Structure 1
């Protein structure tokens, strides 16, 4: 991919190569909701003390980039209904609002699975073990039950992104 195309994609939130959670030069990280980013960075420091590095594979995305990902998913999966199990619309995506982050590698996801609730970081979808959102109440009450996939999440109705579930 030509360097200029890569720069445009990154400006819209693409993360062609994983980046650290402290990378303020990458829009996918820098444009995350401040509370989510702060929790993620606290978790990353503690994970590092355990020898685990958290990296960002996806975070904030522009509406245009989310639409591009959705069209690609429809092409890949053959229908909007099947694509909806993996990619939200720009109107409903927690990535577009900066409220979701995709974490890697597998060891980092395992660490977050065990410790994330203590930071309010919760996996939301059973089929997307990399997708985390901030649920501050999880610090005291644990993470809410997982949705099987985004099609079971009431926030993913066509239209505006609703408030997180209690």
Structure 2
């Protein structure tokens, strides 16, 4: 009898282990494809409709809300820059663009959990009320070579890096085409727009 109980226990453990492995594998595949599975108690999963951007989404992918909901002037400037950068063999991928307030709230909670406090999190993630992403006024560009190209040439398009700690984050400052980019903040916590 104890042999059969032990065999049943072993079978259950193997099944649980296999199920856990399958779930972990599926999560890894989803992450590799650029999908973030975000769960909220009151809304279910957040996804592409909330601003999560699938892997290798370009600035020309109008079917993706994170691109389509960007401010039209910002999007036009980024597309002009991307077209010119393509002559140098570069592609502008959108790592993040417009975000819903729910998505931004989730990212802020993740940052507080990761960095240990609201104050520390504010160096990386704004609140939904102050986020330029929620307003559609910011876009995060990758890969590194494309963001570096934009750092060198972006002012001509009015596209400026705003934070020193986020070389991928760009906002539209049309006056930069004439006067050059404005001074950068060390991080979002120094930006007066984020102190509401």
Where does the alignment leave 5 or more consecutive residues of structure 1 unmatched? 159-166
Residue 94 of structure 2 corresponds to residue 56 of structure 1: yes
Q: Deviations over 1:52-97 (max 9, x none)?
A: 1111000000000000000000000000000000000000000000
2:123 aligned residue: 85
Query: What TM-score comes out, normalization by structure 1 length?
Result: 0.90
Rg (Cα) greater in structure = 2
Larger RCO, structure (CA 8 Å, separation 6 or more)? 1
Secondary structure in structure 2 of the residue aligned to 1:122: strand
Secondary structure in structure 2 of the residue aligned to 1:19: coil
Runs of 4+ in 1 over 3 A off after TM superposition: 5-8
Taking the aligned partners of 1:76 and 1:10, their CA distance within structure 2 comes to 23
Q: Deviations over 1:108-142 (max 9, x none)?
A: 01100110000000000000000000000001111
Query: Structure 1 residues 9-18 or 141-150, which shifts more?
Result: 9-18
How many positions carry a matched residue from both structures?
157
1:162 aligned residue: none
1:73 aligned residue: 111
Query: What TM-score comes out, normalization by structure 2 length?
Result: 0.77
2:176 aligned residue: 138
Q: CA RMSD in A?
A: 1.6
Taking the aligned partners of 1:142 and 1:51, their CA distance within structure 2 comes to 25
2:190 aligned residue: 152
How far off its partner does 1:16 sit? Answer: 3.9
1:98 aligned residue: 136
